[in-house]
Structure formats: C-alpha cells, structure tokens
Chain A
Amino acid sequence: MAKKLKEVDVVIVGLGWTGGILSKELTDAGLKVVALERGGNRTTQDDYALPGVRDELRYVVRHDLMQNTARDTLTVRNNISQEALPMRRLGSFLPGEVVGGSGVHWSGHTWRWTDMELKVRSMYEERYGKKYIPADMTIQDWGVSYAELEPYYEKFERAAAVSGKAGNLRGQIQEGGNPFEAPRQNEYALPPLTKIHASEMFNAAAKNLGYHPFPRPSANASRPYTNQYGAQFGACEYCGYCQRFGCEANAKGSPHVAIIPAVMKSANFELRAHSWVTRVIKDKSGKRVTGVLYINVLTGEEFEQPANMVILTAFALNNVHIMLTSGIGQPYDPKTGKGVIGKNYCYQTGTSATLFFEGKHFNPFMNAGGSNDTIDDFNTNWDFDRSKFGYIGGANISGGFNTNLPIGYRPVPRGTPQWGREWKAATAKWYQAAMKIDASGAVMANRYNYLDLDPTYRNAFGQPLMRMTFDYKENEHKMGQHAAQVINDIAKSMNPTHFTPAVARTDPWTVVPYQSTHNTGGTIMGVNPKSSAVNRYLQSWDCHNLFVVGANVFAHNSSYNPTGPVGALAYWTADAIRNQYLKNPGQLVHA
C-alpha cells in the first residue's frame, strides 16, 4: 500500500530542461512544486570535474549518465508482423537518467523549427497538392505557429546560452547566418563559436557550390555569460568531450547549471531524486488527475503524491510510457488509425561521408559540441522544390567534428584491415587527417510507426515495457539518397586523398549502433482530440490538470535537433498555465 503524502499544488515528473523550466515558472507564480526525478542529483564540481569526467569508456561506452536498461527498457520491432524483443542494452538512442536529464549530456544544438514543420500538412498540400502526401503518412499540423513561439524560442536560447549568428533579423537577411531561418526579433545570446579547420573547409566548399553555410547554433557559451536566472557560464573549452558528458566548464546549456539552481532557491520547491513515477492517478470522473504514484528506488517504498496539477516532463519516450501505464487517453491502433496515445512516433535518419586529406591536421579532439558548419539549402529552404526528388521534409548537412574520441572514432580508408600492423599504421596516419560531412534527415509520421505497451516483457517495477514499432519508409529512403548525393558532390569538390562516400540508408532501422536521441511523438499536440493527445498548450484533452511536455508532443520529426522547440514549448505551456489555466482551471481549448 502506497504511503499517501500531503497534497501539493504541482508535481513535476522528471527534472531536466522541461521540468526545470516548468518548476521555475510555477514556483515564481507562487505554487508549491515537488519535482520527482528517477535519477540522482549530480553536480559539476563533484561529478563533472577534471580529470574524472574525461573518460570515454565510462561515459560514452558504458553510459554512465544514461537510463539503466536493467531496470526499464523498451521492446523493439520494425513492423507489426514481427515479435518485439527487448532492447537489452542501450544503443540507437540514449535517454539521460540524472537531475538535468539528457540536457546534461547533449551537445547543445538548438534550432528554431519553423512553420514548415508546425504547419506541415497545410503547407505541403498548398504547395504540392493533397496527392503529394502518401496515404500512410500521418503528418498533421501542430496547432501552433512560429510567430506564436518566437518569444519563447528566444527565452530558451537565453536560458541555455546559445551561441550563433542570426540569418534573418525581423525579415532582413544577415550575412553569415542561416538565410533560410524564420525571422528572429533579436540576435543569439552569444556570438558564434570559433570555427575549427574542418568547418572552415566545409564552409568554403559549400559556398563554392552556391550553398549557404553558417555556424550551427549551439548551447555552448562562446564566452563567459550570465543568463536571466543569474546562472554563470564559463566559456567553452573546446575540450572535445561534449556529447555524452557533463560539462566541466559549465559552458554547456545544461539544466543543472542554467535553471535548476535558481529553482532550488525557492521555498516553494522541493526536489526528490531517486523517485520513479509509475503512473498518474485519475479521479472517478476520468477528467482530472489527483497525483502520481512513485517508488523511492533507494528504499523500494511506494508513495502517493497528491497534487492539484501533474506535469509530465520526463524524456519523450518515458512520458508516453507513463501515459500508457496510467490509462489516460485512448491507445493508438495502427490497424484502425484510431486512438492517440503512441501515435506518430518518429525518429531521424542520416548518412555521412569521411574525407581523408594526406598531411592535414584536423585535431579532431579540439571542438565544441556545435563546431560544425551547416547548410539548410535542402532543409528549411522552402523554395527548394522537393517534387524533383519526391519527398517531404529535408536534411541539414554539416561538416566538422563533435566529440570524436578514439575508442569510437578512428577513421581509416576503405579496404584497411581491422587489426594488425597495416591497421595500426593506417590508424596512425589518418586519425588527424580525416573529417566528416554528415546529414541529419527528417522522419515523417507514418501510420505504422507507433508506441504501445508490450504484451510480454516487464520492467523492474512489474509494469509492461513500452513497445516501439518503427522503420524508415520510402520518404526517408528518397531523402537519404538525395542527401548522400549532395554530401558526395561537396566532398568530391574538396579533392580529398581518399573518400568514403555517403550511402543512403535503406536497410531497416536497427537498435544498434548509436544513431540519435531525437525520439519524438507518442502524445502529439494538435487541434482535435480525435487526432492528438494534447492541445496546443500541451494540456491533456482527457484530464485538464495534466500537461505533457517534451518532444513526445511533436506531430512529426524534422532534421533538426529537438531541444529548441522542446524548450520553447515548455515556456509556452508555462505561460498558458500562469496566465490562463490558474485563473480558470479547465480545458483551455474547446474542440
């Protein structure tokens, strides 16, 4: 029997970026907030300090900051005819499990997704006609516009110390920025990072071919910085240990630096680490939630935490899992297309080429999380005519480095043996002399890609694992083929000594190796309770005092990293709660 605790105003489930933002905004509004985080509380000075943090084996290979799959994992399959089996260890994606969440170990790439994504169905239908969108592609508009989100994007970029160069200031195209981005009111919080040699070479080659390269906007402070919460950031050290690591310099926009310390100062706030929420409790009417059940993983004790409002701010996949185990909203069924929880799960695709330049010294160990230069000519550029290639969405293509440590990164030209003297000599020769050009590609929602509860396998708490059914479809294959061609043309124009070309991926999605932690969808936002789980304010259509915040609300996935809109939507939701919901608790949207 769970021990029932004293009621609070708000319970926050998961304390990463979104949990931090909601906690700050709602304690500021005078509400009593309890945050339940399944991971432990680690700090920069104790846990991310030199020299221990510079350990590729511990953090990259052994996943020290990540979710422990012995306790909870997913089952995976490519299609509904297969039997899903458990992901027995992490691979393709790496959810964080610590105070700060995946915001501790991310690289910091922060994008503003534009109306091209937020109004995806209406814009493609208008430009290319209804028939251009395949019948099984379940893309839909998100119910929010870029203009509405713009101030919240900016607020997040300032909180996270994003360095970059504006490409479009209030409609004026800016030299050196991304000319295809949507208009910004203001410049980035900080100027761009120092370019590394590989990015310079990519930039020059891309320009030469008529493309529009720009520095990738990243939450790596290019100089010392203090954000709106008084959090002090050091300047990025270009240490080369960014992705998968906590930042020793406090230069990365991580919640445990940027916002959580400010929340912790509030008398209205309490953090309970090591607290694993198993489900949200509904009242008898089914229209309200009354709190959550959680387990203290240090003692095994179960608690009921009553609350006036519940806000799910865990990793996207875990938010969906909690919704499914709580029985809130109708689970999605791919056969009928009915139901909403688990719908439109999306991922990302990609391809890359490796270029070898004899005699170059790229020093691949010196870089920031966002040292790449990027082109958006085949991504956010709406003028790019997709009909020539027959796909929807796009790929952003970049050159440079981001965390290439030697257990995992030792490029050698094709045909080199995998061991022995010849392998060693080639490894020694090419490690410094190779660079990469990568594409990150969008994944459109598909009727048969979804999340539900597994019928067989259970987690350490006796709950069904979540089952992921996912594969790439023809749209992704076509996009990958085009992206590979663009990459290879750029690469050839650079005259490398050797070159391993990019190849479009057309094989099934696989749970190994690592690909991307940009898992989206499952409780998507929208304008209609029949086709979405939450409304435009991320409020559950079923239970008005439940909000579900994170990339799980994305109606599809773009080629961009998700954290920009994740942060912006968290502020947008907080604003709606503070200025609308608290005054008149109930459904904010009547559909």
Chain B
Amino acid sequence: MKDKPEGLNRRAFLKSAVAGGAAAAATAATVVLPQSAQAQAPAQATPPASPGYAFLNPEEAAFVEAMVNHMVPADALTPNGVDLGLNIYIDRALAGAWGKGDRMYMQGPWKQGVPSQGYQLPLTPAELYRNGIAAANIQCIKTYGKPFDKVTDAQREEFLRALRDGKVVFENGPPARAFFNTAYQTVMEGMFGDPIYGGNRDKAGWKLIGFPGVIAVHSQDVVKFRDKAYPNNPVGIADMS
C-alpha cells in the first residue's frame, strides 16, 4: 500500500468521494483499482485487477463488499467474497438488463397485495438495491453509529439476520426483507453461476462443492462414478470457448 499513489488508495478515495459529494463520485468510474492491492490474495488464486464498478457508487460498493465478505468469509474452503468476484457479479448484474428490469411487468397500478401474489414493488432490481443499501445504512447508523461496512463482524451478523427476519423496518424505503432477498439471491448467483458473469472466480464456488460445471457428456460417468467421488476440476464456459 505504501507504494501506491494517494489517488489510488481506495479507502482514502472513498472518504473523499463521500465527503466531496457528486463531483468526486462522478470520477469514481474512471479510477481503476487493482483488486489484488487491497485484498489478501489466496495462494491458489490470482484475482485480476478490478475492472471498476459499472453501477455501484462508492457507498454502495463498500456495502456490497462488506456483505459478500461477511456472507462468504475467507477460510480453507474458499477465498472471501470480494476475491471470488461476488461484488463484481452483483455490480454487473445491476448494471445490466436484469438490474434494469428486463422481463419485468412494470405497469401500474401498484398495490402491495398479499405475499402469494409475489413481487409488487415499482422498483427494478437495481433501484431496489440502491434504495435498499441507502436505507440499510441509515438503520445501521441509527443502531450502531456507523454504516454497514464499518460495523463489527458481530454487528454485521446481527443486522443481516434482522434484515432477513423482517425485524428491520426501512423508513420511507423499500421493504427490508425484499431488499435482503434480492441481495442474498445475487450473492448465491455470483458464487455458483458461471465465471463469465464476474463471480465464482477460478470456479472456487464450484470447487467448494465438487460441481463439474460445463460438462459435455456423463453417459459413461453415470455408471463409472456411481456412489464414487467425481474428479473436482470444474470447467467454465470460457474454458471451452
């Protein structure tokens, strides 16, 4: 970190971006931050330089990074969420067609309905995420005096559970549970989806469970590996392209 010019020090940059408001934030997209400089790279994986964020603003990025690292901490089984690229997966998903509400029926009138009628918010996934993070940070500051990315591990755990269980109420925000469900879903998609989408880096999510990925043919394996461990060398779409 010492060798890095001040302008590329992420924490310092984020602080100034938040303090400096919109003008500083607007430059965020042009700053390229080498991921490997901030995160402890696990021995087996060499994360590529971060390509930057296409959707998340610095506050949102800090929230997402804290969330994915908390849900998927580094241990002997996998690197942490950021090193798996889960933040990048989420950013790209929110910036892309899905985040913008592709395939969603978005005509009103908008009514809450009953739970069996499913999602009824007038928000695209990206809007839900953006407003959900802002509302979650307000609640975090109220409860713990700090935004989500700055609270202790135990507080983060407590807060995520409260979100999941609907014990947190966002004032003037989207339902906390709807936000949590979308956030959790995207963490799992990033971890277990194909690496072409930015997550599951080095197929570490698949290696965790022994999922072979883009397998071509199992016609012989289905007999050969009956109740036997299948080799854990997953293949992604990019490996076969």
Contacts and interface: CB of A to CB of B under 8 A. Distances in A.
A432 B209 contact: yes
A360 interface: yes
B142 interface: no
A217 B120 CA distance: 39
Most buried by B among A83, A239, A407: A407
Given A238-B221, A366-B218, A424 B77 contact: yes
B94 interface: no
A235 interface: yes
Prevailing SS type, chain A contact patch: loop
A473 interface: no
B143 to A, nearest CB: 20
Interface residues of B, number: 65
B140 to A, nearest CB: 17
A366 B236 CA distance: 17
B116 A197 contact: no
A88 B110 CA distance: 11
B217 interface: yes
A201 to B, nearest CB: 9
Given A194-B223, A407-B188, A457 B240 contact: no
Given A421-B75, A432-B229, A85 B209 contact: no
Contact of B73 (A77, A236, A421): A421
Contact of A85 (B101, B113, B206): B113
Contact of A237 (B119, B194, B216): B216
Contacts of B237: 51-52, 54-55
A424 B78 CA distance: 9
A69 B103 contact: yes
B72 interface: yes
Contacts, number: 185
Interface string B204-235: 01101111111111110111011111100001
A424 B208 contact: yes
B100 to A, nearest CB: 11
Interface in B49-108: 70-73, 75, 77-78, 98, 101-107
Contact of B119 (A88, A363, A427): A88
Contact of A510 (B118, B164, B240): B118
Given A70-B103, A196-B222, A50 B214 contact: yes
B229 A240 contact: no
A405 B234 CA distance: 13
A512 interface: yes
Interface string A398-430: 000000011100100000001111001101100
6 contacts: A56-B192, A76-B116, A365-B230, A406-B211, A419-B160, A428-B208
Given A86-B105, A405-B211, A421-B73, 11 more contacts: A55-B194, A70-B104, A78-B114, A238-B217, A239-B218, A240-B218, A361-B227, A362-B227, A406-B209, A419-B70, A512-B119
Interface of A: 50-52, 54-57, 61-63, 68-70, 73, 76-78, 82-91, 194, 196-197, 200, 235-240, 248-249, 360-363, 365-367, 405-407, 410, 418-421, 424-425, 427-428, 431-432, 456-458, 507-512
